[in-house]
Structure 1
Amino acid sequence: MQVFKGIAFHNVDELVPFEGGGWALNRMPAHVRKELNEAAKVDRAENTCGVELRFLMRSDKATIVLRRGKARLDSSHAAEVYYGQFQAPYSVTPKMIGTDLTEITIERPHTEKLSALYREHALVFDPEVVRIILPYDWKIIFMDAEGDLVPPKPHQLPQRRYLAYGSSITHGGDAVRPTGSYAMRIADLLGVDLLNKGFASSAHMDLALGHHIAERDDWDFASLEMGINVIGQWTAEVFEHRMRDFLSAVLKGKRDRWLFVSDLFLCIHDLDGSDRIVDYRLAVSRAVEDLGDSRTIYSPGTELLRSVNELSADLVHPSAAGQEAIALRWSKLMRDRIEAE
Structure 2
Amino acid sequence: MQHDDIQHDDVQFHNVRALQRVRPHEGLRLLRVPEAVRSGLNTGAQTRMSHPAGTEIRLVPDETVRITLSSEERDSLVRPFWGDFQATGEEFTLGPEPKTVELSPPESLSDLDPAATGEMRYAPEVCRLVFPGDHRGGHIYYHGVEGARRPPTADEVPSLRYLAYGTSITEGEDPSAEMLTYVNQTARRLGADPINLGSCGTAYCDPAMAEHIAARDDWDVATLSLSVNMVGRFSPDEFRERAADMVETVAAANPTKPVACITLFPHVREYKRDHEEATLSETFRQHLRDVVDECGYDNVHLVEGPDLLPTASGMTTDLVHPGDDAMIRIGERLARELESLMDD
Global fold match (TM > 0.5): yes
- The one-letter code matched in structure 2 to 1:91 is G
Whether contact under 8 Å (1:62, 1:108) holds in the other structure is no
Q: Percent identity?
A: 27
Aligned length, in residue pairs: 331
CA distance in 2, matches of 1:127, 1:10: 17
Q: Which runs of 4+ in 1 moved over 6 A?
A: none
Q: Is the aligned partner of 1:66 residue 2:66?
A: no
CA distance in 2, matches of 1:280, 1:210: 19
Cα offsets for 1:271-302 (capped at 9, x unmatched): 23622111100000111011243332211211
Q: Is the aligned partner of 1:91 residue 2:89?
A: yes
Cα offsets for 1:114-169 (capped at 9, x unmatched): 462465x2433111111111111331111222221210111111111010101111
CA distance in 1, matches of 2:299, 2:314: 29
Normalising to structure 2: TM-score of the pair?
Answer: 0.92
1:116 to 114, 129, 132: 114
**Unpaired segments ≥5 residues, structure 2:** none
Whether contact under 8 Å (1:305, 1:322) holds in the other structure is yes
Whether contact under 8 Å (1:164, 1:183) holds in the other structure is yes
Q: Is the aligned partner of 1:8 residue 2:5?
A: no
CA positional deviation for 1:39: 1.2
Residue 217 (structure 2) aligns with: 217
Task: From the superposition, tell whether residues 115 and 184 of structure 1 become closer, same or farther in structure 2 (CA, over 3 Å).
Answer: farther
Question: Aligned runs of 1:253-268 on 2, under 5 Å?
Answer: 253-268=253-268
Q: Is the aligned partner of 1:228 residue 2:225?
A: no
Cα offsets for 1:217-260 (capped at 9, x unmatched): 11000001112112121111111111111111111201210111
CA distance in 1, matches of 2:318, 2:68: 34
Residue 42 (structure 2) aligns with: 37
Q: Is the aligned partner of 1:199 residue 2:199?
A: yes
CA distance in 2, matches of 1:122, 1:171: 26
Question: Aligned runs of 1:1-341 on 2, under 5 Å?
Answer: 1-19=5-23, 20-41=25-46, 43-59=47-63, 61-71=64-74, 77-88=76-87, 90-92=88-90, 94-110=91-107, 111-114=109-112, 116-117=114-115, 121-137=118-134, 138-271=138-271, 272=275, 274-339=278-343, 341=344
Whether contact under 8 Å (2:255, 2:297) holds in the other structure is no
CA RMSD of aligned residues (A): 1.6
**Equivalent position SS for 2:241:** helix
CA positional deviation for 1:55: 0.4
- The one-letter code matched in structure 2 to 1:77 is S
CA distance in 2, matches of 1:118, 1:32: 42
- The one-letter code matched in structure 2 to 1:303 is D
Farther off after superposition, 286-295 or 212-221: 286-295
**Unpaired segments ≥5 residues, structure 1:** none
CA distance in 1, matches of 2:164, 2:45: 16
- The one-letter code matched in structure 2 to 1:185 is Q
CA positional deviation for 1:54: 0.4
CA distance in 1, matches of 2:308, 2:209: 25
Normalising to structure 1: TM-score of the pair?
Answer: 0.92
Task: From the superposition, tell whether residues 232 and 103 of structure 1 become closer, same or farther in structure 2 (CA, over 3 Å).
Answer: farther
